[in-house]
A and B are shown apart, each in its own frame.
Chain A
Amino acid sequence: MTSSLPPFLVFFVGALLAAVTRGTVRKVLLVLVPVAGALNVWGVEEGYAWQLEFLGYVLEPVRADRLSLLFGYLFHLAAFIAVVYSLHLKKAENATVQHVAALVYAGSALGAVFAGDFISLFVFWELLAVSSAFLIWSRRGPGSARAGMRYLVVQVVSGVALLAGALMRVHETGTLSFGFVGLDGLSGWLIFLAIGVKAAFPLLHSWLIDAYPEGTPTGTVFLSAFTTKVAVYALARGFPETEILVYAGAAMACFPIFYAVIENDLRRTLAYSMINQIGFMVCGIGVGSALAINGAVAHAFNDVLFKGLLFMSMGAVMHMTGKTKASDLGGLYKTMPFTAVLCMIGAASISAVPLFNGFVSKSMIMSALIDGGYMWIWPVMLFASAGVVEHAGIKIPFFAFFAQDSGIRTREPPRNMLAAMTVAAIACVAIGVRPGLLYGLLPYAVDYHPYDASHVLTQIQLLAFAIGAIVVFQLLKIYPAEIRAVNLDADWFYRRAGARLVRRTGDAVAQAGVALRSAAAGVARPMYEGAFRAHGPHGPLARSWPAGSMVLWVAIMLAAFLLFQFL
């Protein structure tokens, strides 16, 4: 036990202070929070734990081992970069809400990766969902309002599945501790599903595509760093060596790249690219060897850096021009040369160009696939690697900064944005050149050397000829044009089919109600009319009878009675 504070606490206190401060004071505070948090977490040692008893169960809100510490360092670095990137926010951009939500969000992510039991995990899981939704709503358009709500619903459903699975598991095993879970029994599947939603498994992925591009320019940078990486952490903790993850990961790495080719919104293209990258991590976790897990979490670390850098560069373009669609952009390198260079560093990193950080982690996963005997998955992932070059390596920088001149003349983004992007770019190159910086933090001891002549050469061949294919298709003018359009994805099932089903069901129920009412009326009307004929204002039974006729009837009845008495 060290004297360190729980890592999430630093951020939650920071969020409280950010809510009541303004101007320069808040800016200083915002930068200090991740720095103070990082110093704090640096003092946290393996085996650090904070336990408390609750209703007879042992809760463990903080538990540190090498896996959680790696994600802890990563989230501090990501929070620092993203906070610097968002320092310029003004009141008109909902600055207070965004800053507070961002700190709560980052703190929740830290809480989740250090949570030692399912109840703590669930609490942080839901806090992640709620706090991050504000980063989408803060954009304040009707599209963002609806997308944020859809996002929140999906995230909360994931939390409910987690809680249900966790409670069943407590019943089965008697412990709340979050360790290896595995897929035996319904509880394991529920937890798997809950994590799968956050990790954007195929068919559960469309919240990410739907919501991330609707966030604010700065909010999306936070979004890209935390939610999905918490899910990758949870998979690495609960489901290593689960074979289905290899195939799920391969599917995740492949299907988004087709969509990314035809997507016009460049931030949405990056969202597809995110699923593609998480696919590599999920695949590595599925293989489950020490090399594979190391590769998966190293790739998560690198992805936060290069995907953050790409989202920041597109956020800078959006901040300065108000546009993110490839069909509206082009030629921005003339007025945003620094942003263009930083974006290309991110593009080279994600494409796994040697000397950039994507190369040193992705190659671990590729080697682990062969070591693990997944001979048919390896070519699939190699295809997915080549596909990354197409959409993230070439398309993003090319259509924003080069391509045809859109006529837009703008300026470089605010200095804090450039500074944040520069930090991320330096980290990308530093890890690429000195992989030992990252390898030293990985959960298992590393004996892996990415810079082997044969490996570097084959990677350059793959990338160069993949780009060659794009160039040939461009020159032959058969490369798909950028078109203003939406592409249907799995969210169609709830936004269209589901909505239609609900509407049709509603209509059918309403129609059935009308029919039932008219049928009931068909039965009731003759009865009502009969009663009305007899008892209505002019009905024979409602007539007022003269007293004489009454006496006559009594006399007749009496006579009849007497007659029957005689007989």
Chain B
Amino acid sequence: MNEKRSPDSLQPPEAGRPPAQHGPNSVPPRWSKRILLGFLGLCVAAVVAGFLADIHGEHPWEEVPLFHALYGFLGISGLILVSKALRRLVMRPEDYYDDE
């Protein structure tokens, strides 16, 4: 996970200052990889356990296999994309209210 703060296309010119003193990832790549693999394992385990266990939902949508996993993934994807679009509408330079 790197380049989190690379200027993206939505960045207004005011915000284009170079980031202060950002170095490389604070977590060594070796550890990043281990954490990611561990997390992947958790996802797989959650799915497998979901098939093995008897999932009895309360809501009709929960009849869909892996409903919660799909809903979580798609929900957050939508959330991130919509938020990026929201920036176009509401983002202003940091000193926008400074002349009050």
Contact = CB atoms under 8 A, between A and B. Distances in A.
B55 A458 contact: yes
A405 interface: yes
A367 B5 contact: no
Contacts of A399: 4
A474 interface: yes
A328 interface: yes
Nearest to A467: B39
Looking at A480, A481, A488, the one whose CB has the most chain B CB atoms below 10 A away is A481
B93 A485 contact: yes
Contacts of A459: 68
Contact of B79 (A390, A484, A487): A390
A412 interface: no
What class of interface size applies to chain B in its complex with A? 35 or more
A375 to B, nearest CB: 7
Given A386-B75, A403-B25, A464-B46, A261 B94 contact: no
21 contacts: A259-B83, A259-B90, A378-B59, A379-B59, A404-B22, A404-B24, A407-B23, A453-B54, A458-B57, A461-B72, A464-B69, A465-B73, A466-B75, A467-B39, A467-B76, A469-B73, A469-B80, A474-B1, A483-B12, A487-B90, A488-B92
A486 B12 CA distance: 11
A461 B61 contact: no
Given A485-B92, A485-B94, A486-B97, A386 B84 contact: no
Interface of B: 1-8, 10-12, 14-15, 17, 19-27, 36, 39, 42-43, 46-47, 49-50, 53-62, 66-77, 79-80, 82-84, 86-87, 89-94, 96-97, 100
A233 B11 CA distance: 42
Nearest to B21: A407
Nearest to A488: B90
Contacts of B6: 477, 481
A403 B19 CA distance: 14
A460 B46 contact: yes
B7 to A, nearest CB: 7
Given A262-B91, A402-B26, A461 B66 contact: yes
B86 A258 contact: yes
A367 B57 CA distance: 10
Contacts of B82: 258
A57 interface: no
Interface string A350-380: 0000000000000000010010000100110
Contacts, number: 214
A288 B4 CA distance: 43
Given A462-B69, A464-B43, A259 B26 contact: no
A336 to B, nearest CB: 12
B22 to A, nearest CB: 5
A140 interface: no
B39 A461 contact: no
A484 B31 CA distance: 29
A385 to B, nearest CB: 9
B72 A403 contact: no
B88 to A, nearest CB: 10
What class of interface size applies to chain A in its complex with B? 35 or more
Nearest to A408: B21
Looking at A367, A378, A379, A462, the one whose CB has the most chain B CB atoms below 10 A away is A462
A379 B70 CA distance: 13
Nearest to B70: A465
A331 to B, nearest CB: 3
Interface in A450-502: 453-454, 457-475, 477-489, 495-496, 499
Interface in A377-398: 378-379, 382-383, 386-387, 389-390
Nearest to B26: A331
A406 interface: yes
B50 A461 contact: yes
A479 B73 contact: no
A237 interface: no
Contacts of B47: 461
Given A258-B82, A259-B86, A370 B5 contact: no
Contacts of A454: 53-57
Interface string A309-341: 000000000000000000110110110000000
Contact of A479 (B23, B36, B80): B80
